[in-house]
Every structure is written in structure tokens, then in C-alpha cells.
Structure 1
Amino acid sequence: MTDQAQLHQQLLDTLTAGGVLRTEPWKRAAEAVRRHEFLRGGFFRRVEGAMPAAWAPVLDSDAGWLEACYQDESLITQIAGTILPTDIRGQIMREPTSSSTLPSLVLRMLEDLAVEPESQVLEIGTGTGYSTALLCSRLDEQQVTSIEFDADVATRARTALARQDMFPVIVTGDGLLGYADSAPYDRIIATCGLRTVPAAWIEQTKPGGLILATVGGWLGSSELTRLTVHEDGTASGPLLSGDVSFMLARPHAAPPLGLLPDLNEGKEREAVIGADVLTDWSTRFVVQLAVPGAQRLTLDREGHTEVVLIDVESGSWAAVYEDGGRWIVRQDGPDALWDSVEAQLGRWHAAGTPALEEFTVTVTPEGQTIQW
């Protein structure tokens, strides 16, 4: 057995033992698709200890590249929208914009997608093409359509798939619009994060079909949901267990904060709930439902640390800090953001803090709601 085959088998054994690979068809698909073939251009590895975060390229000629391809971890493949591992030497301190998602999450989602042998599938976010190849191996390439926002990323994925003799429909465009030319679909799966599930996906999915997507917001907490599309043009379904995080679809990314407001203004009061609650993933998800336009930052000001929520569109903000064992909030703008946070968490606690798996996502022509 070659080093590559041995590394591949070890990954498959790990995913099977961990309950990620649950059915024989997906086990066979995972066995047939070699992840390293979709990382030939290299990846970026985070530089340990660098603050702010820095990234260094690892090319397919470097020691450790092959081993990393078969680790169960996400690998960054593009920085700042255009920069590839082959473009730089040394380190870069910019934001990642494309990646190869960790195999356990890719395969867990594909298992959760519950495809049938004749399913027509739309994938939102082609990325490297690895997940697309798994779909082609499990189904038939003629049943798979994948859409990628970035034209260069789509081209590299198309090339990698062709090397594996796979030729699904790869489209460059806004995945939030779906792809009507191949509709209707039995399944839609998104490998990017969303603030809201687009109505176009529901319109392009057959009644009874499933949409698997990650919903969240700008406070950085997100969850996987599986929606069933209904005859009346709506869709609904539960959140699935387990914290799931993807880069947000580029049209859903948060706007720049710009010039910060004068945080010395506003009305101040003692807070009922402190900002420490935002360190908890589930609580932060619930908070996002109350202040969906808010972003969070932390500032050291006047001898204390303030957690600040800012809604760029409305101009509202709230700064929360601890002083002498008490939490203080100061807020301004048309919406009292921390009042909304406290009211939302109060309702959630009154209901017994139901787990996120007890939440239901509903999408109608009027918009999306998430409720417990």
C-alpha cells in the first residue's frame, strides 16, 4: 500500500469509527475520491503564535503536504479573494476566503442530505471540488450541478474534477440565486454560511425535497438546518445537532464597521445580563435572532474592557462592561440593542433554555424565522 493509500485508509477508518461515515454508498464514495487531488495547488497553514493571524503557504512539493491532505481539518486555499499558496513566499496577514472543508463535516452533511439513487442535486459552493467529486461518485455526474461565486475557484475545481474524469455542471455565479437551468432539484446542499435561506432555493426544489444549509449571523454562531420543501412554496425543518461553521456567502458577509460612533454618548444603566453570555455558542445563536444586524468587537477603554455591539445599518450600538462586580450597559441609536438581547434571553430562559436542536427554521415568501 502506498503512503497516499495508507493515509487515505486511516482517514476513512477514523471517520467510520467516529460515526461520520454511516452508510455503505457514502463509504464507497469516500474510498473512491482522493482528497489530495483537489489540493494540488497547495494550501495555507496558520502560523502558530502570530497575532494578528498569519498564514504561510504549503505547496504540494513541500514535506508534510500529503499528510495534511488526509488529516480531518479544514485547509485554507485562498486568501483575500485572489491570493493562492503559489503566489507568495513567507507569511500573509489577510482574511481567508476559500477553503477545503474538513472531511468529517463534508461527509456528515452528505449523509444528512439523504440522497436517493435518482436525486438531482444542486451544490452551493464548489470550492476545491472535493465534495462535488463525492457527489459524482455517489450518484452520476449528470445528476450533479455545482455553483461557485469565484470564477477562478470554479476553474480550478473544474480542472481537478476533469483529472478524475468527472464532468458535472459547474456554474460560475451567485449561488444565492440557485441555478434554474438544471431545476427542479431533489436536494440542495450549501457549503457556505447563510444569514437567511434564499427563496430561490425553495422555488427550485421539488415539493418533498430537502435543503441542507448552515444558518447563522455576524456574531459568529451558526447551525446546520435541514428543510423540507412543502407544496405551498414554504420550507421548514429543525436545526441539527453539533456546532457547524462555514465562511459566510460573500453577499451575506458583514459590512465594514467604518468610523466607530462616539461610545461616550448614550444612556447608561445596570445590565440585567452581562456580556459574558456571548462566550457560549448556543446563547450567542439566540442573541443573533434578537439583533440580526449587530456585529461584535472588544475594546479596552478607560480602564475596563467593553464588549460592543454595533448595527451599521441602523446606527444603533451597545457597550457592555463589568464594574465592581456589576455589569453596566451604555447604548444609543434608534434600537436599544441590549434591551433586545435581554428580552430575547429572558424568553429563552423562561422556556427552560431549549437546546438548539429543538429550534425550527421556517422560510416563506415573506422571510425566514427561527423559533423554539
Structure 2
Amino acid sequence: MTSEPDIGEAAADLRRRLAHRLEKDGRLRSPKWRAAVAAVPRHLFIPRFYRESDAPGVTTWEPVTPETVGQEEWLRLVYGDETWMTQFDGRDIDWADPKPISNAAPTSSSTSPGLVVRMLEDLDVREDMHVLEIGTGTGYSTALLCHRLGNEAVTSIETDENVARRAREALTMSGFTPRLLVGDGRAGHLDGAPYDRLIATCGFRNIPPAWLEQVVPGGIILTTLRGWMRSLGLVKLIVTEDGANGWFSEDDPSFMIARQQEAPESLGMVPGPDDGTKREALYGPDVLTSTGAAFMAQLAVPDARFFTLPVDGGPVSTFVLDSVTDSFAVLAATASGWQVRQGGPRRLWEAVESAVATWEEYGSPNTAAFGLSVTRSEQVVWLGNPNGPRWPLPS
């Protein structure tokens, strides 16, 4: 077994290599963030984790520890530019006897260092600034912020008490002592306000009003917006006296949605085979998963989810269900294309078709062509400029 001093030396060398690689790739752009990556011991924040197995069949994650893969391989994986899972279904893992995990939803992770530092660079911090982080997770990104700005400048909120406890232990072991809180990140932390910057490492359906109140005018909010079908993307907002405005990036980080905004367990009422009205569909269900088009579908039907299911033992159909309005759309293949059957207060597929058609009319741009305007009364995603096509975010 490698000794602790040898682990430290090997980890320090791997950190330097990681920093060099991220700098070469253009993700690390400033010497001070490079120094943070080279200094913060990621292996203390993810001493054990799960990686996705490449075995065929149902998605399965396998445990990675120094004991299961060997110390050298474990360290190599820790300092790779990868996201590693650390919790599933909100339950702690029995690391005394870790087993492969299937049919489970990841609920906490250590985000890839490349994405972490890309977001931290975009935060555009200076030494005299105070930062509020939403989603402490393992504490790795918190440690990078502390190295860059100092412990007293960083406040971090985690919703899961056990995840927060492990992050606190790792931060203390690494020599960092930020203000750590357990709670609902949507509320921010008024006692520590005002903040110059706010960064969220989980996805939100909209911008919480408390963030606007606690970040100074001219300050930056950097967060991922996402819906119940998919991530919308990373958005950088400049706070104003009465709201915030900004643009999406062309990256598409798919952070886990904040637990307080997870979709209801019930998908809604599954329609019967004769429910609704039928017509030829202009687009098939592939627009729900295709890059670009799926972004538009999420904007168009923010309260919907979809799944596939055989109907009456026949071909597979795609069901789009809105549990808020009890609306539905069912897509089935025909000899010439696709047929849609719709019912309920909202014509879901017409909303999707309209949004996708608008996107195509504007040249099928990537997410960097979209912006977000936030006021106290509404939050609207727009294409091209604030007077262009608009889609409201769910309240």
C-alpha cells in the first residue's frame, strides 16, 4: 500500500498535470485559478465514488475506491476531468461493502474540474468580493473559491445534511473554513448579504427572487436553468436595480435539478387509446431529444415530461404529459410520418411545433443566441434580443 506522503506527492503531480491540461484546453485562463486547481486536493473530497459501467443493458454504476481499483488507478481517476457520482436517490452509500448500483437516480456528484473552473472563470471575481455558492456538494468547488478569495469571502449552501457534513470534513481537512449552511438554496442567505457573485451548481426552473435581492446591482448570477425534461443550459446574468439580464452560454452542462424543484412523482393521467383529437404531426418525437430542438421543446412545454410505451401491444408511442394542466400529446408512427393525438387545456404538441419552427426560421442557432430577462413579475427567455420571440419560464 502506498504511504500517505507518497499519496500526497503523487496527487500533487496529478493536480499540476490537470491544471496544465485545463489551461491548454482554454478552460483555465487566469494564473490565480490555475494555482487553485494545482493546490486543492480533490482526492480528499472524493475518497470514494461511482462511475458508470460500460456493460450493456440497464445503466449501472460501479464503486471506485483505492481498494476496488488500486491506489494508483483511483488517484488517476480522481484527477481526470470527469464527473463522478457520490450519492443516489438521496440515500447514503454503505462504503463498508459497496456494491454496483442500478435503477437509481444520481443525487450528488463531483462535477468535472473542467466545467467547475470554466464556471469560476466566468464568475469574474476579484479579491474584495463575496460569493454565495448554491450546492456545496463534495466541497471541491467551495475549496477552489476559498483558495482564490479567502475563507471569509465564501458562503455555501447544501440541501442534504449528510452531504454537507462530508463536505465540511473534507474542507477542514484541506485547511478551508468557509461559512457552510444546510438549507434550501432558493432562499439564499440573507444574513451574509449582499453578495457580489452567486454561483449555483445545481439546476433551477427559474431564478429565485431572493437571489436578486441578495446580489448587488452590477453583480453576477451564474446558474444552470433546467426543466423536467432536460437542461436548458448555463446562463450568466447581470443584476440590475429591478431584475437581471443576460445570455446563455453555448455549453450545455446538465446539472441535477434542485431537490425542491424536482418533478412530481405522478406523471399525470395517461390517456386512453381513444382520448383526444388526431392529426398529422409536423415533427416526430426526435425533437424531444435532439440538440437544439429539445431546448425549444423544454421552453414550449415547461411542465411536461415524456416517455415511450407500447399501446395495446402495438408499436411504441411517445407520451408527452403535463401533470399541471392534465394535458397530453401522444405520438405514433404512420406509413408517411407521425400522427399526434392531443387533449386537455393545452395543445402540447402545437406548442412544441411552434417553438421548433421558430428556432428553424432563425437558422437553428445554438443556445448562445438566447438570453434571459428577469423582473419581479416575469422571467422570459428570448431569441436574438429582448424584443425577439419569447418564452416564459415557469413561476
TM-score range, shorter chain: over 0.9
Match of 1:292 among 294, 297, 302: 302
* 1:201-256: CA deviation from partner (whole Å, max 9, x where unpaired): 0110000000000012112132110000002x200100012111100000111111
**Which residue identity lines up with residue 74 of structure 1 in the other structure?**
T
1:200 Cα shift? 0.6
Matches within 5 A, 1:155-166: 155-166=165-176
Do the aligned partners of 1:44 and 1:75 also contact (CA within 8 Å) in 2?
yes
Output the CA distance in 2 between the equivalents of 1:190 and 1:272.
37
Deviation at 1:50, TM superposition (A): 5.1
| Structure 2 contact 268–321 (Cα < 8 Å) conserved | no
Q: 5+ unaligned residues in a row in structure 1: which ranges? A: none
SS at match of 2:101: coil
Correspondences of 1:295-306 after superposition (within 5 Å)? 295-301=305-311, 302-306=313-317
Distance in 2, Cα, partners of 1:171 & 1:60: 30
1:348 is displaced (CA, Å) by 2.4
> Who is 2:14 aligned against?
7
Q: CA deviation at 1:115?
A: 0.5
DSSP-derived class of the 1:369 partner: strand
State whether structure 2 residue 54 is matched by structure 1 residue 48.
yes
- What is the letter of the counterpart of residue 202 of structure 1? L
The answer as to 2:240 corresponding to 1:230 is yes
What pairs with 1:121-200 in structure 2 (closer than 5 Å)? 121-200=131-210
* Deviations 1:90-121 (CA, angstroms, capped at 9, x unpaired): 22222111000010000000000001111100
Aligned partners of 1:18 and 1:195: how far apart in 2? 31
Structure 1 residue 164 displacement after superposition: 1.3
Secondary structure at 2:67 match in 1: coil
Are 1:57 and 1:85, in contact at CA under 8 Å, matched by a contact in 2?
no
Match of 2:387 in 1: none
1:131 aligns to what SS in structure 2? helix
Match of 2:33 in 1: 26
Q: Is structure 2 residue 345 aligned with structure 1 residue 345?
A: no
CA RMSD of aligned residues (A): 1.6
- Secondary structure of 2:23's aligned partner: helix
1:253 paired with 2:255, answer: no
SS of 2:364's equivalent? coil
Q: Say if 2:12 and 2:38, in contact at 8 Å, map to a contact too.
A: no
Asked if the contact 1:321–1:327 (Cα under 8 Å) also holds between the matched residues in 2, the reply is yes
Alignment correspondent of 1:37? 44
Provide TM-score, normalisation by structure 2.
Answer: 0.90
Corresponding position: 1:329 with 2:340? yes
Per-residue displacement from partner, 1:112-154 (whole Å, max 9, x unpaired)?
0001111100000000000000000001110000000001111
1:107 aligns with 2:107: no
- Could you list the runs of 5+ residues in structure 2 that have no partner in the other structure? 1-5, 384-395
In 2 relative to 1, CA 338–285 (structure 1 residues): closer, same or farther, beyond 3 Å?
same
Instruction: Kindly state the Cα deviation for residue 362 of structure 1 after the two structures are TM-superposed.
Output: 1.1
Identity of aligned residues (%): 43
Equivalent residue number for residue 219 of structure 1: 229
CA 1:88–1:259 in 2, change beyond 3 Å: closer, same or farther? farther
Q: Return the alpha-carbon distance in structure 1 between the equivalents of residues 332 and 25 of structure 2.
A: 41
Distance 2:91 2:182 in 1: 15
| Residue deviations 1:321-371 (CA, integer Å, cap 9, x gap) | 221131110111111100111122222223333332111111111131101
Instruction: Kindly indicate whether residue 128 of structure 2 is the aligned counterpart of residue 118 of structure 1.
Output: yes
Deviation per CA, 1:14-55: give whole Å up to 9, x if none: 111110101111111111111111012x11122322533222
Inter-partner Cα distance in structure 1 for 2:67 and 2:289? 40
Cα distance in 2 for partners of 1:293, 1:225 equals 20
